[in-house]
Structures are given as structure tokens and as C-alpha cells.
């Protein structure tokens, strides 16, 4: 008996970054192709196949084609919901795909009084598979607390329990998950516990049986790309897991200390670093420290990113830890909170009060209770994106450039007035000459080929 255990593909993640989005899809394809090469009996997907309940249809099409390759090879696919795969009140694409026969959902949940009954799915290999989906609230913990454990215990071995939940004792220190469950809430007596949700590879055990998190196949966030060391999935033969690493690109990671540097010196340092060859690599730079002179806004990070992209597949530049000694004391007056906010935005924004105020009103929106974090983030991004693009394209007047633009306008007016006077003088002089010669003056004399009807 041989099966593949993977989780957290998050297909459709990095939707605004085509390079990372495609690498993520490639990682999933690599996992499926390796499973076919290994001639597994079936594939377990322990949640978060997609990054959103209703993902981009192009991603759906490509992922279905990939999974169909396994199905055509005689490999069954079983899945449970992950916390990203569904949202309350929204039909999940997993339901649609399950109805086509691409895979089977192994979540057969029945509620009987105060007990939750999980029915098993029987694989042709003789293994019973039971699963419970991941949720995005404390309801997940309650599900585990009310499982009918007597029924689960009586399911004959061999049997697998698939889940998408954080186990408190196994979570990495940097993860805060208030809905984690203790290991003791997992049902007893299973031969293999196939976990999902934690993006790091974790090997543990439950009553002597393997309890495994394969981790993310690529990653769903920029933090994943930074902290994850190895990515992949497990091939499990006779309940003995073997990790299969997936590497669709290399990563170059570096921390840049800006202490003691000016804004100009830091920019030169980053541009110098960009001169190296990063072919086939994602570059991840963390810039932190305090600039001794100049402001963070003086650094042309766009130029730096473009320079890295000449050889790198992509560049992720984190400057959250970068500060400057130069500070601006803002003093504003207002009679109401709204008036004070407007005045502050007018003072601090490089793109003017209108830009900052519009963006502020979007970002201060609260998340509806029935919406997942990922869907909420996508909704905010869809609203904010046009405003950010408008700022980049110069549709919002930069504060620091207002005076210069006014000066330019005045200068342009003076130049046009001067040109107009010179042109008028030239026309008058030419008219005098033509009067003497008896020839009519035309626009052709001043503007090029204006046509036969240009005489006046």
C-alpha cells in the first residue's frame, strides 16, 4: 500500500504576482507528477488546495488538467476542505470538482444529538479514510470536542484520519493560533494522521502512529517564502513516511543593515548588490536599521527592484525595519476629528490629501464576521489597487512637487507669451515684405503643409 500525502497547495496565491503564482502552480504539478512516477494507489490532499473559495478560472483549468493526469493513471484523489477553501454562505469550488469525479471529499459528517459522526470512505486498497475539514473559527475546536469517538474507534484498520487543523503541541513558535487543538482531541486508534494547515514540515506521532504535516508545496505568503527551508510532500508506503522535496526555484536571502548609512549610501549599496547574477533565483532582502541622514522616501526602491529583475526571477524587498533620524514634527489645527484627520493627511502625504483620505477609508473597513481573512484581504486589495495605480501614474499631485509645478506653469506661460510676441513680430515683418512684393501670406510659411485652403 502506497499513497501520497500533500497539503496547502494554495493554488491562486500571489494573484498579483504572475512569477510567484506560476511557481506555486508548478510546485503542485511537480508533486502530482512525482506521485504518478511513484505509482501510488491514491493521493491525500489535507486542505487548502486553493487559496480562495472561488479562485481564478485559469488556475482552476490548469489545476484540473494536472489532477486529471493522476486520475488517468488510475490514481484516486481524496481531499478535505482547508480554511481557505470555503467561506460561510459561499459555495466552494471543491464541491463542483468533486461532482465531476476529479477527486472525492472524505468529509461525511452527520450530527446526532450532541455527537458528530464521521463516516469513513473505503478505498479499493482496503484502507478506510475519514476526514474533517478545517474551519476559520472556534467552531473547529467544538467539532473535535464533540466527535463520536466510539464510532471512530470501531472503524477497522487499516485507517487514516485526514484533518486541517493546528495541533497546539506541534505549532512553530512564530504562529499564533487561538483555535489550535491539543493532540489529545485527535481520535485514537488510526494508523496514520494526515495533517494540513501548518506550512512547515512536521513529523510527530499519536499513540505510536505517524502524525504528519507535509507543509506547503511552495508557500502562500511572502513570509512563507522567507521562513520555509524545505518544501514538499510525503510518500507513505505501509504507513512509513518518506519526504519528497520540491524545488521549483532557488532563494537568495540577505539582511541589509542600514545603521550608519545615509539614504544615498544605502541606495548605492543596494544597486551594487543588484549587479550580481541571480538567474533562477527569487531574491529576498530585509533592509533594517536607522539612516543617519536623508529619509526612507528619498531612496528609489523602484529603480532597485528593476535592477535586480534584470537577472532575478523576482525580488521581495522588505523595508519595514528601516527608519530615519530625520523626522517631521506635524502641527495641525482642527475643531473636529474629521477636520484634524484631513489636515494631518494634507501635511504628511506625498500624494496629497485626496489620495491618503481615499486609501485610509478603504483600509479602516472592518472585516465582516462571515468572511475569511484571505477573502477580506482580496476585497481590500481590489478597492485599493486602482488608487495606488493612479498615484503611480501621477494622477494625484505630489505635495512636494506642487510648488515646482506651479513654478513650471508660470515659466511655461512666460515662454508662451514670449514665443507669441516673437511670432507676431515675425508675421508682421513678413506681411510687410509680402505687401511690398504683392504676394499673399499663408500658414505654409509658418506651419508647414497646411493644405491649399490655408491662405488668409
Residue 84 catalytic?
yes
Helix axis angle, 57-72 relative to 18-37, nearest 10°? Answer: 10
Element (H, E) at 374: helix 373-392
Closest CA to 182 of 165, 196, 197: 165
22: number of Cβ within 10 Å: 15
Output DSSP code: residue 363: H
What is the distance of C-alpha 318 from the center of its chain?
14
Are the beta carbons of 188 and 179 closer than 8 angstroms?
Answer: no
Are the beta carbons of 150 and 184 closer than 8 angstroms?
Answer: no
Closest CA to 8 of 225, 196, 165: 196
285: number of Cβ within 10 Å: 20
Bridge partners of 205, per DSSP, are 210
Give me the DSSP letters along 209-270: EEEEE---SS-SSHHHHHH----EEEEEETTEEEEEE--SSEEEEEEEE-TT-BHHHHHHHH
Catalytic residue (choose from 84, 164, 197, 199): 84
Cell numbers 513654478: residue: 407
C-alpha cell of residue 272: 551594487
Q: Which residues are catalytic?
A: 84
Amino acid at each position: 500500500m502506497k499513497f501520497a500525502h500533500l497539503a496547502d497547495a494554495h493554488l491562486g496565491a500571489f494573484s498579483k504576482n504572475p512569477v510567484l503564482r506560476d511557481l506555486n502552480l508548478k510546485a503542485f504539478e511537480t508533486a502530482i507528477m512525482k506521485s504518478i512516477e511513484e505509482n501510488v494507489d491514491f493521493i491525500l490532499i489535507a486542505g487548502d488546495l486553493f487559496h480562495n473559495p472561488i479562485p481564478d478560472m485559469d488556475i482552476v483549468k490548469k489545476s484540473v488538467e494536472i489532477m486529471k493526469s493522476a486520475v488517468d493513471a488510475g490514481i484516486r484523489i481524496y481531499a478535505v476542505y482547508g480554511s481557505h477553501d470555503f467561506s460561510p454562505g459561499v459555495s466552494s469550488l471543491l464541491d463542483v470538482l468533486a461532482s465531476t469525479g476529479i477527486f472525492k471529499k472524505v468529509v461525511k459528517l452527520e450530527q446526532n444529538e450532541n455527537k458528530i459522526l464521521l463516516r469513513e470512505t473505503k478505498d479499493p486498497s482496503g484502507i478506510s479514510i475519514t476526514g474533517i475539514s478545517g474551519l476559520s473559527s472556534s467552531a473547529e475546536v467544538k467539532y473535535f470536542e464533540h466527535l463520536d469517538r466510539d464510532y471512530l474507534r470501531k472503524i477497522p484498520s487499516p485507517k487514516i484520519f485526514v484533518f486541517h487543523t493546528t495541533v497546539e503541541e506541534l505549532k512553530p513558535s512564530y504562529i499564533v493560533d487561538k483555535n489550535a487543538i491539543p493532540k489529545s482531541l485527535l481520535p485514537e486508534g488510526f494508523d496514520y494522521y494526515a495533517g494540513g494547515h501548518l506550512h512547515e514540515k512536521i513529523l510527530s506521532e499519536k499513540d505510536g502512529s505517524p502524525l504528519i504535516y507535509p507543509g506547503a508545496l511552495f508557500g502562500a505568503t511572502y513570509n512563507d517564502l522567507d521562513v520555509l527551508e524545505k518544501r514538499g510532500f510525503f510518500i507513505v508506503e505501509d504507513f512509513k513516511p518518506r519526504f519528497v522535496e520540491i524545488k521549483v526555484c532557488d532563494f537568495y536571502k540577505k539582511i541589509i543593515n542600514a545603521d550608519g548609512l545615509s539614504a544615498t549610501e544605502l541606495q548605492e549599496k543596494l544597486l551594487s548588490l543588484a549587479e550580481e547574477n541571480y538567474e533562477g533565483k527569487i531574491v529576498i532582502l530585509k533592509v533594517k536599521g536607522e539612516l543617519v541622514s536623508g529619509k526612507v522616501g528619498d531612496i528609489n526602491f523602484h529603480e532597485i527592484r528593476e535592477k535586480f529583475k534584470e537577472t532575478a526571477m523576482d525580488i521581495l524587498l522588505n523595508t519595514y525595519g528601516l527608519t530615519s533620524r530625520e523626522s517631521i514634527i506635524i502641527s495641525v489645527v482642527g475643531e473636529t476629528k474629521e477636520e484634524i484627520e484631513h489636515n494631518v493627511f494634507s501635511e504628511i502625504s506625498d500624494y496629497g490629501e485626496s489620495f491618503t483620505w481615499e486609501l485610509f477609508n478603504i483600509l479602516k473597513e472592518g472585516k465582516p464576521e462571515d468572511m475569511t481573512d484571505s477573502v477580506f484581504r482580496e476585497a481590500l486589495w481590489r478597492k485599493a489597487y486602482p488608487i495606488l495605480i493612479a498615484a503611480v501614474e501621477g494622477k494625484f499631485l505630489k505635495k512636494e512637487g506642487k510648488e515646482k509645478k506651479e513654478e513650471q506653469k508660470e515659466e511655461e506661460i512666460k515662454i508662451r507669451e514670449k514665443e507669441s510676441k516673437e511670432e507676431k513680430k515675425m508675421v508682421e515683418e513678413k506681411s510687410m515684405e509680402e505687401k511690398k512684393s504683392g504676394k499673399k501670406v499663408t500658414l505654409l510659411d509658418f506651419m508647414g503643409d497646411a493644405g491649399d485652403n490655408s491662405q488668409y
